[in-house]
Amino acid sequence: MNKEGQLNFLGIGSAYNPVWKNTSAYFVKENQFFLIDSGETVFSTLFEKGYLVNYSKLRVFVTHTHADHVGSLPSLLSYCYNVLGKKVEVYYPRQEIQILLDNMGLERECYSLHMGMNWDFEDISIRAVSVNHAEDIYCYGYLISGLEGTVYYSGDCYQIPNNILEDFQKGKINRIYQDTTEFPSSHRSHCPLEELERLFPEKDRSRIYCMHFTTDFFEKLERLGFSYVKSE
C-alpha cells in the first residue's frame, strides 16, 4: 500500500536481476502520480496494481535511457493515451528521450515532454542533477523537495556529486537513495559499498538508502548501518 508524500518502490533490482524487478520509485501528491523511471518491468507492475487508472495526472521523470530505466516507457505512454485517454507528462533534461521514443515508433502526440533542469508543482520542487554513470549517454539524479523533507534520488551513478554530499552534511538533504553495488569494478558505473563506507560515518548511514541491486548483500548493509529500499 503506497503512502502519500512518501517515496515507494515498484522494484529494487538492476538490469541483471529481473527477479527483483527494475528499480523504479514513485510518490503520490493530491491525486498526481510521480514516477521515476519506467524500465522493462515497470509498465506491467503499474498495470497489475491498477495505479494507471487511479490517478488523474501521471508524471514520469527519466534518469537515463538504458533499457532497465526506459524499456517499458513507450508502452506506458501509448496505453495511457490510447486506452485511458490520459496524456502523460515526461521530464528529462535533454531531447534524447524524444528521439528514442521516435525511434521506438511512439507518436509525439501521445505525451508531453518537459526539458530543463528544474520543475515546480505547488509544494513539490524537483531538480535534475548531472551524474556520472556511462560515457555515451547523459545521466541524472533528482533532488526532490517537499517529500519527506528533501531527498536525493541518484539514478545510476558511481559517485555522489560534491554539492549533494555537502547539502546532506549540512542537514539540507534528509535522505539519499543511492545506486549501490556490493563490490567495486574496473568498469565504473555504479557506486560500490566501500565508497559509501568511506563517505558516511556510522551516525549518518541510516539515512542512506541503497538500491538497484544485482546481488543480495542486505545483511552486510544492516551490519554496516545502512538502510536499503524494499519493493511494496
CATH, residue 85: 3.60.15.10
Per-residue model confidence (pLDDT) at position 43: 98
For residue 136, the tally of other CB atoms under 10 A from its CB is: 5
Residue 227 lies in a domain: no
Residue 69 lies in a domain: yes
Residue 202 lies in a domain: no
Per-residue model confidence (pLDDT) at position 166: 97
Residue 129 lies in a domain: yes
* Helix runs in the chain, H state only: 42-49, 51-54, 67-70, 73-82, 96-103, 162-169, 193-199, 218-224
Residue 99 lies in a domain: yes
Nearby residues of 105 by Cβ (< 8 Å), 6 or more positions away:
74
Contact 173, 152 (CB under 8 A): yes
Q: Determine phi and psi for 127, rounding to 5 degrees.
A: -125, 130
Regions in the chain scoring below 50 on pLDDT: 1
Dihedral of the CA atoms 13, 18, 23, 24 (nearest 10)?
A: -160
In the chain, how many domains are there? 1
**For the chain, what is the mean pLDDT?**
94
Q: Is the pTM of this model over 0.75?
A: yes
Per-residue model confidence (pLDDT) at position 113: 98
Residue 82 lies in a domain: yes
Residue 208 lies in a domain: no
Per-residue model confidence (pLDDT) at position 4: 61
Amino acid (1-letter code) at residue 161: P
Per-residue model confidence (pLDDT) at position 1: 47
Per-residue model confidence (pLDDT) at position 187: 73
Q: What angle do CA 49, 52, 56 make, to 5 degrees?
A: 135
Expressed as residue numbers, the domain containing 122 is 8-178
Residue 229 lies in a domain: no
